[in-house]
Structure 1
Amino acid sequence: MRHPHTRTTRRRVLGALTAGLLCAAGLATAAPAAPAQARAGVPGLADGLALTPPMGFNNWNSTHCRADFNESMVKGIADLFVAKGLKDAGYQYVNLDDCWALPQRDADGKLVPDPARFPHGIKAVADYVHAKGLRLGIYTSAGTRTCNSAGFPGALGHEYGDAQQFADWGVDYLKYDNCNNQGVDAKQRYTTMRDALRAASRTTGRPIVYSICEWGENKPWEWASGVGHLWRTTGDISDNWGSMLSILKQNLPLAPYAGPGHWNDPDMLEVGNGGMTDTEYRSHFSLWSVMAAPLLIGTDLRKASPATFDILDNKEVIAVDQDPLGRQGTVVSSAGGRWVIAKEMTDGSRAVALFNESGTAQRIATTAAAVGLSDAPAYTLRDLWQHRGYNTAGTIAATVPAHGTVLLRVSADPHWAANPPAAELGLDASPLLEAATPATLTSTVTDLGRTSARRVSVSLTGPDGWTVQPASATTAATLATGRTLRTAWKVTAPPGTPTGAYALTLRADYRSPAGERVTSALPLTASVVVRPPAGTSYLSGLTWLSATSGWGPVERDTSNGESAAGDGHPITIGGTVYARGLGAHAPSDVSFYTGKACTKVTADVGVDDEKGPKGTVAFEIRADGTKVASTGVLTNAMPAQPLTADITGAQVVDLVVTDAGDGNDSDHADWANASVSCGGAAPAVRGD
């Protein structure tokens, strides 16, 4: 629930300051005997709770501990669940995170709701939420204090009393965090609270869904299915692309551990909080759904845009998440950042996510057989964001925008012929243009269906002032299965067009054999680019095509400070300070246009000194998507490593940092003195 770097530091400091306080304070009191079933170690809770991933709201990602987290907000969220149709879509839980309590317990050792935030108490809020047909959740930590720096009371040593309080208040869901845990064994801490919740349930009849939030530190997926209903598999999510991507990659391999009543939890949703684009938020929501993850809204719905509600209320996507079979999606392929993730559904269909990790549009393709469907003459393919069905002969493919996801539901359906044929739209290459210089782009429209597409036409449009002219045929009378209409286009950006990204739209119009008209549109991004100058230039002085970073933005000539732009420090590796370079945080990718005019990239790379003895990363340089240089795993204890790559003939070069496979905690990665050599050597380094 907290930023993992800050959280880890605070946990260690407080642990050192308070070691031994449990016994000194009399907290290690004997608990009531655990039920015989729990003592016997029978796997699975088997209590009928959380048979599908929990859906609801948690305030932390939007409010943290600000004053606007209060009774009025919680009631307002419950009202919006009903008014906006989110309750009908399946959202149930309205959950309070940290800061709801006073810093001290009362004379009887009980938790006290903050009277400024919750003047009528937690039970009154629970009653209000219950009256709406919804459920209330609450937060505490499996430690002596919670994770907030103010240090509210934790439940370690108070499990049975706190669980009874929660049940008496009408709480339906407990998020149990991991701060200030005094080094007590994780399984012991979380099992004690499980038993306390069971005991409280027996006395009140109030079952409570139990969310284990120990950040995946002790591999809870290996032991927690008989302890809690869901468990965090990673550190905290942040509202940026790199963080979401890192968490996705950590959670995907854990699919075998998920199922009804026991779920992998890759943390709450950031949809609507402003740090990502709507395209990225649709990917976030699609991927969490195909992973059968809990869907806990993390934005303040009182301020949410219509686009945010459209994403959160997509019932067809939610149905993927809530499928009662309870399978988590698994990776079919992932080469070059082109992900295919498939999830088996109760009715035998497959939910298929075509996810584009990269910063440019890419074609992603698979087959019905590859995602586990039995052989059939054709299949029904339903696009869950377009809300439209098509037929396919077996190919499942789409050109997916940068950071986008096409989410499909594919079935071996005997009624496939009632749907028009699927048509795949695309471009043969990434649209990179130099201003005032005509570029030839080739569009494609391919019939993927078992039936023919008829009266096919295609158009390409660009920004005002751009020239877009066809140089070959834009129509076809018929496209049979697997056939493609290719159209060449001459595209020119006006002289003086600034570098940057510009929108193009490819449209296709066709008819099914029954005469049904289908219109499809593919949004594309054209980049206006400038080649690096001749000689050797610092990359920090050039314009990049795209840049992503696990925490905070990529920085020029400073380290990455994890938050806002410009919050870094001088780049320092192994005690050496560098004036020039790029500061990133794994996982990251910085892409540069080299226009086939450059020959070499060089840098001194390593983990920045500012994070102490933490951080493990690996550096790569890619030329037109092919790895041409890499370092292996580097740590903070290692000096800067020289890295050189031959990029001769490459149009685009990517500087990539991975988290070395262990998560992106404190992975401050520096490309010190990163430079590119183009068009022959020059005596001076440019870009100063």
Structure 2
Amino acid sequence: MRYNTLSYKTELWDMGYNTWNFYQCNINEKVLTTTANLMKSLGLLDAGYNYVNIDDCYALKKRNAAGLIVEDPAKFPSGMANLTSYLHSHGFKAGIYSDSGWMTCGGYPGSYDNELLDAQTFHKWGFDYLKYDNCAIPYDSITRENTPGRYRRMSDAIASVAKSTKSTPMVFSLCEWGWQQVWLWGKEFGQSWRTTGDIGPYWESLTNIINFNSFIASSTDYYGRNDLDMLQIGNGNLTYHEARSHWTVWALMKSPLFIGTNLSAITKETLEILTNREIIAINQDPVIADSITPFRWGLNPDWTSNSTHPAQYWSGRTQNGTVVMMLNTLNKQATMSFNLTETPWLRSGRQYSVRDLWAHTNNGTAVRKISAQVPPHGVVALLLKDAGDEPAGLNPPCAVWWQCTDKNGTHVGG
């Protein structure tokens, strides 16, 4: 695969706020500065949420005589450059939005055939991040290229601006919705890519996204990541356990974490979910970039696609051990358990210390098996660290007993 100048190893995953989920087109500079101030006072900036991103509807409906996108002076009377300066001075980075077609999804100017001009404008305004949508596509007879080709145009424009200005390229986030298997080519052009349609503020939308991404989770690495869409936590339609599951899956799958709720009405429970430092540390792991992946589907046979009951048992590497996640997709409490050797990241014949990443407790040492009571639509997240050889004399002598064989060929155990 060809990597262009935008493909660089990232130090941190993207975390922050995006205006679309809550405000949609009802945005202005006061909304943005108030949001930034709340993020700082609530401790969200300190927890790692350092982007404040403007989505659609910030511009006038027509470009000016020079062909430039113009910020709406009624919404942003001080101008975008002043807004980004304000955000930067308060410790934030700033994100903006455009589209690979004639118009954005909201009917404002898109960037097709104006990619370099718009990349220059966004740089001049002081933006660090560009979300790039996929609406209002020109006719095939005009583009003579498919979706990757249209994203390449903006990717090359961003790279050109960074080279000419000797600056860091804007982070390029592809909002392509997965129609053309963007997880196969997205990292050639940007740092993240949407894999599904828009998220909804209800459990069935979450499980549908989790199910789809369970089959492509290995696409995430330091050069790009699957984007499961913005966080719905705090929008009122999810139970506490659903919200916690939502955030845990997104964080451990290394999806960009962009809040889309009304921060002025945020609850203590929601804030505690969003600022779980132990899970954020795994999300921001500077050594291991991989997403967690399923090691057993649970209710369904392995590799079964089920939009309401996705894979339940997941694990992945971290610099400090192996993270394991158990997701209860049932409407009732469930006893969930697994053999340690089911995950490829744990070794047979070893025992492991167990850290509960939600209770923030050390739960002793696990030998061969872990079980937990998981609330309906709830989640358990554990960090396991090697604690030496398992106790001698365990029977059967193999955790996976059905292939356990003595050197004379005799099967033992079971």
TM-score grouping bracket, smaller chain normalisation? 0.7 to 0.9
Alpha carbons 1:292, 1:321 under 8 Å: kept: yes
Amino acid of the structure 1 residue aligned with 2:125: W
- 1:226 aligned partner: 188
- Asked whether the 8 Å contact 2:7–2:187 carries over to 1, the reply is no
Contact 1:385 1:406 in 2 (8 A): yes
1:386 pairs with 2:359: yes
- What do residues 545-604 of structure 1 show as CA deviations (whole Å, max 9, x unaligned)? xxxxxxxxxxxxxxxxxxxxxxxxxxxxxxxxxxxxxxxxxxxxxxxxxxxxxxxxxxxx
Shift of 1:358: 0.9
Which residue does the alignment assign to 1:138?
96
> How far apart are the structure 1 equivalents of 2:354 and 2:339?
11
SS, match of residue 363 in structure 1: strand
Letter in 1 for 2:243: Y
**How far does residue 54 in structure 1 lie from its aligned partner after superposition?**
0.9
Counterpart of 1:59? Answer: 19
Which one of the candidate residues 73, 76, 84 is aligned to 1:115?
73
Q: Distance in 2 between matches of 1:404 and 1:124?
A: 43
Counterparts of 1:247 and 1:96 in 2: how far apart (Å)?
24
Q: Structure 2 residue aligned with 1:345, among 308, 318, 324?
A: 318
| Aligned residue number for residue 398 of structure 1 | 372
Contact (CA 8 Å) 1:252, 1:291: kept in 2 or not? no
The equivalent residue for 2:338 is 366
Q: Report what 2:412 is aligned to.
A: none
Count how many residue pairs are aligned between Structure 1 and Structure 2: 373
Residue type of the alignment partner of 1:404? G
Q: 1:375 Cα deviation (Å)?
A: 3.2
As a proportion of its length, which structure holds more strand? 1
Which residue in the other structure is 1:268 paired with? 230
**Identity level (%):** 37
8 Å CA contact retained: 1:383, 1:389: yes
- The CA deviation string for residues 653-677 of structure 1, in whole angstroms up to 9 with x for no partner, is xxxxxxxxxxxxxxxxxxxxxxxxx
- Select which of 295, 299, 303 maps to 1:332: 295
On the 8 A contact 2:6/2:189 being kept in 1, the answer is no
Instruction: Tell me what 1:209 maps to.
Output: 171
Deviations 1:603-662 (A, max 9, x none): xxxxxxxxxxxxxxxxxxxxxxxxxxxxxxxxxxxxxxxxxxxxxxxxxxxxxxxxxxxx
Structure 1 letter corresponding to 2:14? P
Q: CA deviation at 1:300?
A: 2.0
Bigger relative contact order, structure 1 or 2, given CA contacts below 8 A and separation 6+?
A: 2
Cα deviations by residue, 1:218-273 (Å, 9 ceiling, x for unpaired): 11111121111100000000111111110111112112211002111111111111
SS of equivalent residue, structure 1 residue 57? strand
Q: What is the distance in 2 between the residues matched to 1:105 and 1:232?
A: 28
Where does residue 408 of structure 1 map in the other structure?
A: 382
SS in 2 for 1:143: coil
**What amino acid does structure 2 have at the position aligned with 1:64?**
Q
* Pairing of 1:289-304 with structure 2 (within 5 A): 289-304=251-266
Which is higher, the Rg of structure 1 or of structure 2? 1
Q: State how far apart, in whole Å, the 2-side matches of 1:380 and 1:84 are.
A: 33
Poorly superposed stretches of 4+, deviation over 2 Å:
41-53, 375-378
Q: Distance in 1 between the 2:5 and 2:177 partners?
A: 21
**Once the 2 structures are TM-superposed, how far is the Cα of residue 390 of structure 1 from its aligned partner?**
1.5
CA distance in 1, matches of 2:4, 2:331: 42
Does the Cα contact within 8 Å between 1:376 and 1:412 map onto a contact in 2?
A: no
TM-score by length of 1: 0.53
Using the alignment, how far apart are the partners of 2:350 and 2:201 within structure 1?
44
CA distance in structure 2 between the partners assigned to 1:196 and 1:345 by the alignment = 35
Cross-structure match for 1:166: 122
Residue 182 of structure 1: how far off its partner (Å): 1.6
Greater fraction of residues in helix:
2
Cα separation, 1, equivalents of 2:88 and 2:11: 20
- Alpha-carbon distance between aligned partners in 2 of 1:309 and 1:221, rounded to the nearest angstrom: 31
Q: Which amino acid aligns with 2:81?
A: K
Q: CA 1:56/1:50 → structure 2, altered by over 3 Å: closer, same or farther?
A: farther
**Post-superposition offset of 1:346:** 2.3
| CA displacement at 1:61 relative to structure 2 | 0.8
Normalised to the residue count of structure 2, the TM-score between the two structures is 0.86
Q: Within 1, Cα distance between the matches of 2:10 and 2:79?
A: 27
Runs (5+) with no aligned partner, structure 1: 1-40, 417-448, 451-688
